[in-house]
Amino acid sequence: MDILNVTDHRPFPFPSKHWMMKQKWKNISFLHWPLSESQLRPFIPKQLTIDTYHGQAWVGMVIFEMESIHLRGIPKYSITPNFSEVNVRTYVTYNGVPGIYFLSIDVDNWASVTLAKRWYHLPYHSANISIEKSHESYHYESIRHGQSQIKGEGMIHPLPESYIADKDSLDYWLMERYRLYSINKKQSLYKADIHHKPWSLQKAETTIHRNTILSELTIGLDAFFPAVSHFSSGLDTLFWNIKRL
């Protein structure tokens, strides 16, 4: 089924049928920590409102593999080899539209660090990242280039049952986000819309051995003990071009 025909799960419509890029994400782990708005406010641009679920703000760490990136009209050729990513994100709104704001993005891909960083105004860092499956678990390790003290390592064990999150649940609020916001050096605000089918999720158990990726941000969280963890085997995602707000 065409991804664009599956829309009932979205909190707002996608902008048009003229998407720019298709990405394939796989083996995605979501680790989340709750925190207060006052803890998070110093890290968020003044134009954005911190989004909360029952009065609580949240920060997530997402670990996944990018299997391919295709530009519209060129479906057979990925513009980049497979690579892995570890990002730290939080949840915001602008004029009432919910989205994601990234605090850091570690990738082992030259094009993302050099080109996407400038185009999307996102906080990319170059890193060595590995994600390896062992039995039914996934071991990940990330070490940032030039800042080897900023690293993450742990194990994600997905539980067997998969499900689609109910719209009023925390899981839906955390996962079903279809816009990213970013800011450039001149403090101008941008948006980029995305679309995909609803996440097929599994609850997960997490063991974290190192996590200075999160602790170096000095938000004040216990980086070793996320409150909730999820896993998804993957999905295809459509991206629209970035626009200034």
SS3 166: coil
Distance CA(185)–CA(204), nearest Å, equals 37
Q: Answer whether 127's CB lies under 8 Å from 86's CB.
A: yes
Q: What is the pLDDT of residue 76?
A: 73
* pTM listed for this prediction: 0.94
Q: What is the pLDDT of residue 82?
A: 84
Contact 21, 70 (CB under 8 A): yes
**Can you list the residues of the chain whose pLDDT is less than 50?**
1
Write down the CATH number for the domain with range 25-244: 2.40.400.10
State residue 235's pLDDT score. Answer: 94
Other CB atoms closer than 10 Å to residue 80's CB: what's the count?
Answer: 16
Whether residue 4 contacts residue 17, with contact meaning beta carbons closer than 8 Å, is answered with yes
- pLDDT of amino acid 116: 73
Percent of the chain whose pLDDT exceeds 90: 81
Query: Quick one: tokens of 181?
Result: 């916001």
The residues near 105 (Cβ < 8 Å, ≥ 6 apart) are: 85, 86, 87, 88, 112, 122, 123, 124, 125
- One-letter amino acid at 73 equals G
pLDDT of residue 244: 95
Q: Could you give the 3-state DSSP secondary structure of residue 239?
A: strand
Tens digit of each residue's pLDDT (9 = 90 or more) over 2-12: 889 999 999 99
Q: Is 114 left (phi over 0), alpha (psi -120 to 50) or beta?
A: alpha
Predicted pLDDT of residue 140:
97
